[in-house]
A and B are shown apart, each in its own frame.
Chain A
Amino acid sequence: MSFGEFMQQLVNGISLGSLYALVAIGYTMVYGILRLINFAHGDIMMLGAYFAFFGYAVFVLPWWLSFIIAIVLTSLVGILIDKVAYKPVRKAPRISALMTAIGVSFFLENFGLVVFGGVPRGFHRPDMFGKLITVGGVRFVSYSIYIPLFTAIFLLLLLFLVYKTKIGMAMRAVSKDMETTRLMGIDVDFVISVTFAVGSALAAAGGIMWAIKFPQINPLMGIMPGLKAFIAAVFGGIGDITGAMLGGFILGVIEIMTVAFFPDFAGYRDAIAFSLLIIILLFKPTGLMGEKIEEKV
């Protein structure tokens, strides 16, 4: 493999990884606060892509406006899902909550199949993202630069939100100890809603950029990226935002590089992430950045 090809694959891996990172953050934020694997998160990402698609393909809005509307709508859907499905089982055993999440995920997928139709739709790539760029003999399509760029902007905004604002402080407090936070006079339900909104908004952004990178959308498109993003979140140490970002990038690069170096294994691509997950959970279940959890009897 020449250096040029290597660079090309690396850029590919980073742009894929940044999508995983965006989705992984939603998982990790919800898990950090509710100790719930939000199975439906990948499907929320799918909704984001569909909202954007309808925005400019059906309502003929400019692409940036339809993207913004899609992100807002998706975060509202995220809040709605929490209120309708997750809030009633918050006091129930964790496994009940997990099953509810699986139910919500199946609902969104099949609702998508019924409402949007099972036929894949072509996602028109705005011109800005489709240009060919040549840098020192390495050829990129411009989205592979823009995706990591936008991801970086979103991530910086998120870090600012979580570490520099009041609501961010409340989020971190809830994730440490929900009951005590409630006693301190913080509206925990509001904080949870904000968490779902932010996570879903990032998932929508991820979904839209996923559709730009792989310009065909269908109602089941969220399943695999969702699962892999979850793996990225575990890899980075679930509950830890910077860990999720790191995990996403690493997973993306590993996946692309494995296929690039061992083309014979291309069919096993989806198994790579899962094997990685199993290995991590066996040897370092808390992930790269996770804190060690002491178990109390």
Chain B
Amino acid sequence: MDRKTKFLLNVLLVVGLFFLLYLAKHYLNSYMVRIITLGGVYIVLAVSYNLVNGITGQFSLGPNAFMAVGAYTASLLTLSVAAKQQMFFIEPLIWPFNSIQIHFFPATLLGGVAGGITAYLVGVPSFRLRGDYLAIVTLGFGEIVRVIANNVIPLTNGALGLKDIPNYTNIYWAWGWAVFTFFFIRRLTDSSYGRAFKAIREDEIAAEAMGISPFKHKMLSFVISGFFAGVGGALLAHLITTISPVLFSFFITFNLLIIIVLGGLGSSTGAAIAAVLFAVISELLRAIESPMNLGFIHIPGIPGMRMVVFAVLLVVFMIFWPRGIMGRKELTWDLFFSRKRGGVS
């Protein structure tokens, strides 16, 4: 199939998707629209996280740090000057955030840039390590960012966090970014850079012998992932409208980890599918936290049960189904239209 047809099909797919979103926005209730919007945000976060963990094979546990940076940057930029003055009553907000307010889109972009810069700063020392040491150091940076968010009151308002962030993230913004993230990362994965990422994942030393600089490529993958994590954080902040350091604890990384394992480590399509599934399933699982009346027996609600189920799911996946939904395969048009099995690995 030539590139032109594929491009047309992609355009059709996106148009169709947005038509469905339009229908959803107008015919579904606000609760369901919110879940779909959250699904879009999760796609941005999961697909970008998968770029580092699945495609480049570097086990990072730090996306919560970049999300926090993106969320705080964007929120401080979109909040009105008066609202910020009122909110920062312990210590006044520092310049320049105290005197500007910008539109949502540039704010998310800047949130992403801030996330990318943080990723760069974290990556330079971290990528001297690999494997589980890398995991623990990125986890450490995540904690450090959280501690900083708790303590640098003139910038973050400390443990109180930011509230009344304008609710700008609607279904179109979330899915618009989701589609952009998805296609950007798919294109990147199929480019020569992407092949270098995968070579590093398979065998770093062999890749280096082939003339690929592992450090440079790992950093590239990490910074791009940090950018989109920052954007995702900004979207999340403008969806739930209240952020505090607690929101960006390791917990959120854990959710993303479940998503990418469920989708198949190394598959962007898998990550996107699993992100939507996760948004839906975690809402459905609320049922087990509420009291149930089965006619003859009455089961009281067990708050917190959802996370127990998710934790068990992760362990069960790792043991019985480590390849997840997609393994390392991607859904491609070739896969749909030809009899040949297997897409781009």
Give chain A's interface residues, CB within 8 Å of chain B: 37, 85, 88-89, 92, 94-100, 102-104, 106-107, 109-111, 113-114, 118, 227, 230-231, 234, 267-268, 270-271, 274-275, 277-278, 281-282, 285, 297
Interface pairs A-B: 9 shortest CB-CB: A103-B314, A107-B311, A274-B140, A106-B311, A110-B307, A103-B315, A271-B147, A267-B151, A88-B319
A109, B318: Cα distance in complex, Å: 19
* Interface set, chain B 123-172, CB cutoff 8 A to A: 125-126, 128-129, 131-133, 135-137, 139-141, 143-144, 147-148, 150-151
Q: Separation in Å of the A230 CB from the closest CB of chain B?
A: 7
For A296, the closest partner residue in chain B by CB is B205
A275 near B315 with CB under 8 A, answer: no
Which residues of the partner chain B approach A110 to less than 8 Å between Cβ atoms? 304, 307-308, 311
Do B143 and A106 touch across chains, with their CB atoms under 8 A apart?
no
Q: Are A230 and B304 closer than 8 Å at their CB atoms?
A: no
A103 to B254, CA, bound (A): 8
| A271 near B144: Cβ-Cβ < 8 Å | yes
Q: Is the CB of A100 within 8 A of B144?
A: no
Contact bitstring B291-310, A, C-beta under 8 A = 1, else 0: 00000000000111101101
The number of inter-chain residue pairs (CB within 8 angstroms) is: 107
Give Cα A100 to B305, complex, Å. Answer: 19
Main secondary structure, interface of A, reads helix
B9 at the interface (CB under 8 A from A): no
User: Most B CB atoms within 10 A — which of A37, A114, A270, A282?
Assistant: A114
A85 to B143, CA, bound (A): 26
* Residues of chain A lying within 8 A (CB to CB) of residue B147: 267-268, 270-271
Closest A residue to B258 by beta carbon equals: A103
Query: Which residue of B has the minimal Cβ distance to A100?
Result: B318
How many chain B residues touch A (CB < 8 A): the figure is 38
Is B234 part of the contact surface with A, judged by Cβ < 8 Å?
A: no
Chain B residues contacting A85 (CB-CB under 8 Å) are 315, 319
Q: Please report the C-alpha to C-alpha distance between residue A278 and residue B140 in the assembled complex, in whole angstroms.
A: 8
Contact with A along B254-267 (1 / 0, CB 8 A): 10010001000000
Query: Which B residues lie within 8 Å of A98 (CB)?
Result: 59, 132, 135
Known: A267-B150, A271-B143. 7 other contacts (CB 8 A): A99-B257, A102-B314, A106-B254, A107-B312, A111-B311, A281-B137, A297-B205
Residues of B within 8 A of A97 (CB): 318
Chain B residues positioned under 8 Å from A277 (CB to CB): 136-137, 140
Give A274's nearest chain B residue, CB to CB. B140
> Once the chains bind, are B132 and A99 in contact (CB under 8 Å)?
no
Which of A103, A111, A274 is the one whose CB lies under 8 Å from B143? A274
Shortest Cβ gap from A93 to chain B (Å): 9
| CB < 8 Å neighbour of B136 from A37, A88, A109, A271 | A37
Chain B residues within an 8 Å CB radius of A270: 143, 147
